[in-house]
Structure formats: structure tokens, C-alpha cells
Amino acid sequence: MMDTQDPVLSHTLCLVFAVSIGSGYHWVKVFLLHSANLLRSSEAHDLPSLSNSTCSVTSMAIPHHSQETSYLLPPNPEDWEKQGIPDFVYGQKDLFVSKKIQWPRNSPSAADTLPLSRFDSALCSAWRQRAELGLFRYRLEDLQTRILPGSVGFVAQLNIERGIQRRRPQNIRSVRQEFDPEQFNFNKIRPGEVLFRMQREPNGPAAPKQEDEVLVVINVSPLERGHVLLVPAPAHGLPQRLLPGVLRVGLEAVLLSGQPGFRVGFNSLGGLASVNHLHLHGYYLAHPLPVEGAPSTPLDPKGCVHLLQGLPAPGFLFYTSGPGPDLEALISRVCRATDYLSDCEIAHNLFVTRGAPPGQASSTSDLSGIRVILWARKSSFGIKESGAFNVALCELAGHLPVKTSQDFSSLTEAAAVALIQDCLLPQTQADEVQAALVALMAQEEL
């Protein structure tokens, strides 16, 4: 092991070695970037910023704190499994509830220049190294991006490789389908695909009990930079049905990030989840999305749940200003809602983002809390190749990964709205679901 305390060696180290990929050996250039090991500050102005793309595959040196855990793989692939899974240990002080987390005023797409938190740096340095090692199904280059003209503000991106290279979805027949160990699951991934384990500080103030370990794993068919999966207790073989523990970690991951564009989401079975093994998605997108400030109206007297309006897909909005009792109450409400939908065989998608409090429409500069949006939708089983994009968590939120160049150049807001609305429940059924969820929230008062 090299002594990285030397100021020269504390920058990017480059090693070239042979690594087995598939059936042969390829020479790869591995940029051993020290994980962003930063002081645990709760103020954004105390954090270093990077002018490069946050999780780009480009070589980049990140400040190193000598006592931090390294989330990088050792040079020899044979040592990857022996190394074990490092813990990303965090506490209340690492959760960013400051209003300083917001999009740059003049150019929201300049979010890559924003400061990185300790979580961002750990995730991005490890993710970037795995990309250099060739552990993804394709090399994710900078994606062509366009904001579709119109009132919604759809963010369309051309991602041809994902449409071609991603793993075929499993044969799903029910929202409540049981886990099948014979199918692909996250116990079968390569050791190098695991970045770290999320670990709350033990006995910390107001630290909720984290029942099971949650692994942060690369999505080998990434939508965008830093695309990871949050996988709770893989060995337990949990089916794709939302549970409070993993939702809590997903919410905390958004609060751990200093980037307004780090979002987390969940697809149910029938809601385009392609693997029936419990997981959430997390990824960076350097653009505001319409769900961050869209208006809403309360559905119950205490405002536990709102109806998100002004968008092609109305959704149920849950909101919290940060960690603590309100966050725990939100987790309980959301999971009761998703349990109801699963029990009724209703597919659903969920999206977590920084955003404005419920009420009137707000600008993208107001990211003072966490918005959780839940959509009930038509079930969709099997492979769906028609249309410019498939409708799941990110599409409902306004991020449209498009599969072909022709569709990318010709896609209009009207066409996007039509594709999304075709996946929504009929109005009669949507009204029944809304009434049932409002009744569930009312039971909380009893």
C-alpha cells in the first residue's frame, strides 16, 4: 500500500494493469481517485466544489482526509471480494437541511459546480472508478439533453445504449409476486459492483433504528451519472415491495447530498421494476424538474397528503422539512399508502426530491424540504418497446430518457404528455384510490 500522506501522492494515482472482463483480458487505465473525504460540515459553503461533471468518468482528484474510509477497489480484481464492504457512516449532522442547497440562479444546468458533500464525494469517486474498470454494460458519455418547449419543462435525454444494453426485465405477473432466487437478483452481482454500506452512527441523537443493512450498488445500465441502487439486506430475498427501512435510507440519502439534482425513486412490480428484489434507484440529474415546485391542494384537514397538480400525471404529495418526527411520520404514511396499493394489485411509482412546501406553485429556488410523490398507475408487465420512452419513476417526474436519436429530435411536449397519461388509471379508479388513501390518513388520527 502506498503512503498517500505524501502531498504529491495525495492526488490522482494512475495504475495500468490487466483486468479480466468477460472472456478475455483488457488493459484498462484506472484512476485511483481518493474518495471525497471531507470534513463533516453542515454548511454548504464549507464544502469544496468541482467544476467538472460531478460523477463524470473523467479523471479528477478529490480532497482526501487521511482518517476517512476508502471506497475504492484494490488494483487486483482477485482482492475485491477479500476487501469486504466499507461502511459509509453518517449521523444527524451530515443531513443537509440548509436552504443553501439550491439551483444556481442564472443557469440551473451549472449544478456541477456546486459543492459536494461527503456522501456525494464517496459515491462519485467510487462510481467513477467502477466505470473506469469497465463494470458497467456501457460507457456513459455526456448525454444530449434538451428541455422540451412548452409549459411543463420536460428534461429529455438521449440514452441509446441503455435501451440496447440493459438487462431484459423479468417475467412479472403480479404486483405482489414473491421473490424467486432462481431469477437474477442482487445476490448474484460481482463484488466490485458494491460501493459501500449505509450505516447510521450507533446511539446517535434521534437516530431511528436501522433494522437491516442497505448496500449502495452501481446500476450497470445507468440512466445518468452516479446511478446507483439502494438494496436492503440482499440475502433476505425481499420482493420489490416498499418497506420503511429502505425508504428511510433513501430519504436520508437525498438529505446527505449537497446536490439539488440527486434524487431517489422506486418502481413497483407492474410499474416497470425490472428486478423483483427490493431496491430503490438514486441518481444525479443536473436539471430542475417540474415536480419540485408544482402546486398542490391538501386532501385531508391536517395536510398529511396533498394532490400534486399542474402536471400531466397528478400524484400524491407527501412533504417533510427534514429529519426528526415529521420524517418518521412521512415514512409511515407513504408505506401505508404503498401497502394499500400493493394489496389492491395497483402498480405505482415513487419519486423523492428536494422541493418546495405544498401549496401554490413555487420557483425552483425553493428547495427547503423533501417532496415524496406517489403515483398510482396502470400495471405494465413484460417488455414495452413502443414509444419514445417507457413511463416509470423518472418519466412521471419530468425526466425523459429517450431510446433513439429520431425520437429524441422529434419528441414534443404533447407527445410526451400523451405517453404519460396513457399509463394513468382511469378517472373512476383514480378517484377510488384517492378516497381510500385519504381514509388511511384519517385512521392515523384514531
Active site amino acids: 279
Task: In whole angstroms, give the CA distance from residue 349 to residue 266.
Answer: 6
Q: How far does Cα 175 stand from its chain's mean position?
A: 21
List, in order, residues 6 or more apart from 261 with CB less than 8 Å away: 111, 284, 285, 286, 287
Q: How many CA atoms lie within 13 A of 440 on its CB side?
A: 18
CB of 240 closer than 8 Å to CB of 277: yes
Closest CA to 128 of 257, 226, 198: 226
Task: In whole angstroms, give the CA distance from residue 93 to residue 58.
Answer: 31
Q: Label residue 256 exposed, middle or buried (CB < 10 Å: 0-12, 13-18, 19+).
A: buried
- Torsion over CA: 56, 60, 65, 68 (sign): positive
115: left (phi over 0), alpha (psi -120 to 50) or beta: beta
Task: In whole angstroms, give the CA distance from residue 159 to residue 233.
Answer: 31
406: left (phi over 0), alpha (psi -120 to 50) or beta: alpha
Task: In whole angstroms, give the CA distance from residue 106 to residue 331.
Answer: 35
Beta partners for residue 271, in sequence order? 380
Q: How crowded is residue 171: how many other Cβ atoms within 10 Å of its Cβ?
A: 12
**SS3 at position 390:** coil
| H or E element, residue 318 | strand 315-320
